Amino acid sequence: MEAPIGLRWTGHALIDMGVAAVVLATGNDRPEAVTQTQWEKWMDELERDYHDRLLQKPCSILFTLNAFDNPSWSKKPEERAQKITRTFESARKAAPVLSEACTFFPEHPAVVRAARDLFPMLMGQQQLNFYPNGRSELPLSALALGCVLSLPRVAPIVSGRAMIVGADDWDLLLDLCEHWKEELDRELALLRAGGTWKDRKAPRTRLLKALEEIFGPGQIRRFAAADRLSGVTLYHLSNSGNGPSVDIYTVRPLVNRFLARAEAAKHLPRWKALVQAFWRRPKDGSYEQAIPQGKKKKKAAPLTDDERLQARNDVYEQLPALPDEAAGFIRRIFLRFAQNRVGQRRDFRTEDTDIWPLVELFLTELMPTMTPERIETIRRLADELAQEIHVNNDRRLYRQLMGLASGMDTYHAFRTLLIRAIRERLRRTNQLLLTFDDYLLLFEEGEGFPRADWRLVRDLVRIRVLEQLHQAGFFAEAPELLEESPEEEIEES
């Protein structure tokens, strides 16, 4: 039995994504199983793609144009071929080794010293800044070089930059790379037949869409354990000579756990309805399911598959900011969905589905301050307020609660309307709408001192009240209320 080549995870995103590419391309489940024969076979396949210019687009972003497609070689194709051949000979260990260790696999000798033409985001050749030991360029072994050369086969190009990901759990990294490799392999097959690379945009949407499909019910996840918490970091980078740059986005472990549980059977229809509502068209940013306004009577066609690769989704775009921006997510996504569902807003069409169970999951998974007691108290208060509005046809209370009346954005105004509702209920039925302790639990640190998250609680109450009134048929009896717009507009994402 052939001995392994010595491939392993390193903890460096650029190298490890290449490691994942090699593992998948050689049909293994872990890097330690890759053999020298498998490695050389993969290098042979990869070299052919480089020679045939099939990876020219991703290579120009990852390695700069000078690496394998220097414009000066246009009349000397043999120089380009020689550069590619020499590079892959080094990756096969055919080239003489250097008398120093590899930066990433120090147990292996280096075969090249790489500048930014062979390793993204480094300095140029012969520049000393940021290099160890006072020497220019970075020593790479055959393994490290081969892993970097493998990146174009698993790293999608989105908005003109490469998607490089690092994961706390290498099994999740394998799942992500397998998802993208299958997509890129299909495009590569079309490219060999004369096609072109597909245009992708919106990096956060692309990352979260891939994670959603991995965690979804289609059993795409092959490596990562379902109960394992793992975060993902996206390095959206370009090594272009004209403008090297990188944007970093982090999807925290709690977000991935929420995503996995939202994709479970219990919540899946609601989650799909929520996500579907927030797709935006790539050309003008309008919603895919936008409601025609004014003279625009014709309903827009659904996004095509190619348009979907360029479209962004408000839900996916905001998930990386969680849990820090959880209150904003509730306001911009959940509340906005509820308002559009009943017709209080007319941004887009939604499915007629209650979103509250998904809101409760969100609060439980991502907001530790929202204890089960607080969540239950919010639900109970909202149900009581909805009953007050519906049974008594209290349109004044509805307008004030939903921000349709002027001057209702302050805590004092909100507190006043709740006190009025409590008094009305007490006068009419001799029963309390909520207790003093319940009020403190939801809205105040102490009497007269509002909680920092009182607006969050108000928004949650609004979501639940809208759903309860919709179920009760209240808006069919009072359609004029839907013609009024909230004074406090929900900000755009």
Q: Please give the pLDDT value at position 469.
A: 96
342/481 same-domain check: yes
86/164 same-domain check: no
Q: Please give the pLDDT value at position 41.
A: 96
Q: Please give the pLDDT value at position 489.
A: 46
Number of structural domains the chain divides into: 3
Residue 341 covered by a domain: yes
- Between the alpha carbon of residue 135 and those of residues 100, 107, 353, the distances in Å are 12, 20, 63
* Domain-terminating residue out of 124, 153, 182: 153
Q: Please give the pLDDT value at position 131.
A: 60
Which residue range is the domain that position 369 belongs to? 322-493
219/362 same-domain check: no
Residue 336 covered by a domain: yes
What are the pLDDT tens digits along the chain (493 aa)?
788 999 999 999 999 999 999 999 999 999 999 999 999 999 999 999 999 999 999 998 999 877 888 877 878 889 899 999 999 999 998 777 888 999 999 999 999 999 888 999 886 665 556 666 667 789 999 999 999 999 999 999 999 999 999 998 999 999 999 999 999 999 999 999 988 899 999 999 999 999 998 887 765 556 566 666 789 999 999 998 778 899 999 999 999 999 989 988 899 999 999 999 999 999 999 999 998 876 655 677 899 999 999 999 999 999 999 999 999 999 999 999 999 999 999 999 999 999 999 999 999 999 988 999 999 999 999 999 999 999 999 999 999 999 888 778 888 999 999 989 988 888 888 888 888 888 888 998 876 688 889 999 999 999 999 999 999 999 999 898 888 777 654 444 3
148/209 same-domain check: no
196/59 same-domain check: no
